[in-house]
Amino acid sequence: MRYLGFFLWACAVFLPATSGASPLSLAGAQRIAEQRSPSLQAQDAAVRAIRAQEASAGELPDPKLILAIDNLPTDGPDRFNLTRDSMTMRRVGVMQEFAAGDKRRLRSERATAEAQREAAVLAAARLNVRRDAAFAWLERHFAERQLAVLRELARESELQTMAMEAAVASGKAPTADPLAARLAALQVEDRILEGEKNVARATLSLERWVGTAAHAPLDAPPSFDRLSHRHEELTRELETHPHLAMYAPMQAVALAELRLADAARRPDWSLEVGFAQRGPAYSNMLSIGVRVDLPIFQSRRQDPQHLARQAQLEQARSLAADALRVHAAEVATTMADWSAAKLRVERYRARLLPLADERKAVALAAYRGGRSDLTTVIDAHKAALEIRINELTAQAELARAWAQLEAMLPETKERP
């Protein structure tokens, strides 16, 4: 009655909170994670910011308004008078700077490449969020699967203990058998506590990505033995893959910076037009002037900038080559992991699990017939449990490799 009361209390507390929750699928968890990710929101803001600046990158700078007083006397009878001296002028004008050569076009190209780089970073970050959310979902899924296996074994152990106690009471079994069975059951219960802790930790890990939806029951998992992308798609044209697409615009930015450094050796210039008003007795003046930069110390100013930009371009190219190698190796190793895990799961299902169940049945039949002792039965149950746990571990490895491969390319339509 005490256990029954605790069960009814638990149902009253927990069932109302979860009974109305719809199952959380793997794809649903990934969608929620994308919507809730602060890192994606930050990167999206970065993309919008750079695109807003892209339109103005190739424009001329704003013109400058000039307001001045020239040749104002500071002593004598006309000091601080604006109209008596013939040289005193009140001047108003405008000045416009002009970039030499193709600097405006290069600045526009640099801004475009920067926008493309930030957009590529956003696409890669989105795939990373989907991958990490999938890892969290899979962690909870397999933690629950393992806990279900342990609880199933615990029920079997309890039934065996009850049967052995009845056999001892009827004089058909040794007195020590129920004690050995009870010890084995307690060991399983200890593993159940560890499994419940793993489920709780996995739920909290999933909560980071999906919020309160992490406490909903999980939907059925997808098929992990089939990939959305063919092997040749994962290994062909790697430069266009989302995790590598940022390196092409990164090199374009560095190249534009190098060309701008070359263009800096050609001086910019500005045009200035001004109107100067003098006293009533004197004529007003119109001024037109041109200002030109004088890059006469290029070895100390422009040349170091050119060398720095050239080194940055070499760095960008080297980083792209290294990332290409790393990604190609990751595709190959992950594909190997997925294939090996797939074979292991098939082997467990086809041979090891049936053999373990058969051994359990034979050991139990031999014990009931008096041809074996209880230790053989317990060992057979332990071996079967370990094989089932190992099979779940192989499934988890298969699922993790599957999620990793799925995150290497965006989703595609279902293929025939």
Read off the pLDDT of residues 273-308 as tens digits, 9 standing for 90 and up.
Answer: 999 998 888 899 999 999 998 888 888 888 898 899
Q: Is the pLDDT of residue 19 over 50?
A: no
Look at residue 414 in the predicted model and tell me its pLDDT.
Answer: 40
Query: What are the tens digits of pLDDT across the range 391-412?
Result: 999 999 999 999 999 988 876 5
Q: Report all structural domains of the chain as residue ranges with CATH numbers, in order of start.
A: 23-406 (1.20.1600.10)
Query: Lowest-pLDDT range, 52-56, 155-159, 379-383?
Result: 155-159
Q: What is the 3-state secondary structure (H, E, C) of the chain?
A: CHHHHHHHHHHHHHHHHHCCCCCECHHHHHHHHHHHCHHHHHHHHHHHHHHHHHCCCCCCCCCEEEEEEECCCCCCCCCCCCCCCCCCEEEEEEEEEECCCCHHHHHHHHHHHHHHHHHHHHHHHHHHHHHHHHHHHHHHHHHHHHHHHHHHHHHHHHHHHHHHHHHHHCCCCCCHHHHHHHHHHHHHHHHHHHHHHHHHHHHHHHHHHHHHHHHCCECCCCCCCCCCCCHHHHHCCHHHCCCCCCHHHHHHHHHHHHHHHHHCCCCCEEEEEEEEECCCCCCCEEEEEEEECCCCCCCCCHHHHHHHHHHHHHHHHHHHHHHHHHHHHHHHHHHHHHHHHHHHHHHHHHHHHHHHHHHHHHHHHHHHCCCCCHHHHHHHHHHHHHHHHHHHHHHHHHHHHHHHHHCCCCCCCCCC
Query: Lowest-pLDDT range, 7-11, 222-226, 390-394?
Result: 7-11
Query: Lowest-pLDDT range, 48-57, 79-88, 366-375?
Result: 366-375
Q: Stretch 253-263: mean pLDDT, rounded?
A: 91
Q: Stretch 213-229: mean pLDDT, rounded?
A: 91
Q: Stretch 367-396: mean pLDDT, rounded?
A: 80
- Of the two residues 125 and 380, the one the predictor is more confident about is 125
pTM of the model: 0.78
Look at residue 54 in the predicted model and tell me its pLDDT.
Answer: 85
Q: Is the pLDDT of residue 175 over 70?
A: no
Q: Is the pLDDT of residue 192 over 60?
A: yes
